A and B are shown apart, each in its own frame.
Chain A
Amino acid sequence: NAGVMQNPRHLVRRRGQEARLRCSPMKGHSHVYWYRQLPEEGLKFMVYLQKENIIDESGMPKERFSAEFPKEGPSILRIQQVVRGDSAAYFCASFSPRGTGELFFGEGSRLTVL
């Protein structure tokens, strides 16, 4: 499967714990976006990364959230000390700068904070 792979698909955490969401882009893609989607809401941009570089993190909360995309391995979105308001679906998307700008989405990681 050469598509965007996200894991875990579902994650349950208690308030105060940490959540780590992983994303492997499509083969040949070195750019990833993370979006958050709340129920009945649209996709909200969080962060845009290239390998070893954060391009744009203007959509990411200043505290508790961080993202990385190392040279080797998947991109990781990390949420520390989770709160109930962090419960959402987190989608990763990758794209190729040589294309039309079309984003290819993973299946998402659904975080539930108890």
Chain B
Amino acid sequence: GQNIDQPTEMTATEGAIVQINCTYQTSGFNGLFWYQQHAGEAPTFLSYNVLDGLEEKGRFSSFLSRSKGYSYLLLKELQMKDSASYLCAVGSSGNTPLVFGKGTRLSVIA
């Protein structure tokens, strides 16, 4: 089976840095995805990691350690508009659908 864990809620201050962790157990692995979802809206793609290490994209970075079954999403220079849910999702192999964690609801406060 597959299991994905991430914190339910986090709060951070505008301008600060926040790290959202995700741990997973899967029978196979072909990539880890992070999505952002604002309330009442569709999830939108943020990042994809398939190899160990850090992927940087502007204010957002994502890290993966396959041996530890661990990833994090790092958000820098937080803005109020970053308040959203952040979903960690893992692909197993082939046609297996992405499995999503329950999401971490981030609140950015002034």
Contacts and interface: CB of A to CB of B under 8 A. Distances in A.
Interface of A: 33, 35, 41-45, 48, 55-56, 59, 91, 100-108
Q: What class of interface size applies to chain B in its complex with A?
A: 20 to 34
Nearest to A4: B42
A42 B87 contact: yes
Nearest to A103: B98
A104 B91 contact: no
Contact of A101 (B41, B91, B102): B91
B42 A41 contact: no
A106 B31 contact: no
Contacts, number: 53
Contacts of A101: 30-31, 33, 48, 91, 98
B85 to A, nearest CB: 9
Contact of B100 (A42, A100, A104, A106): A42
A38 B89 CA distance: 17
B95 A104 contact: no
Interface string B11-28: 000000000000000000
A45 B99 contact: yes
B97 interface: yes
Given A35-B100, A102-B33, A102-B48, 8 more contacts: A41-B102, A43-B87, A43-B89, A91-B42, A100-B31, A100-B50, A106-B42, A108-B41
A64 B101 CA distance: 26
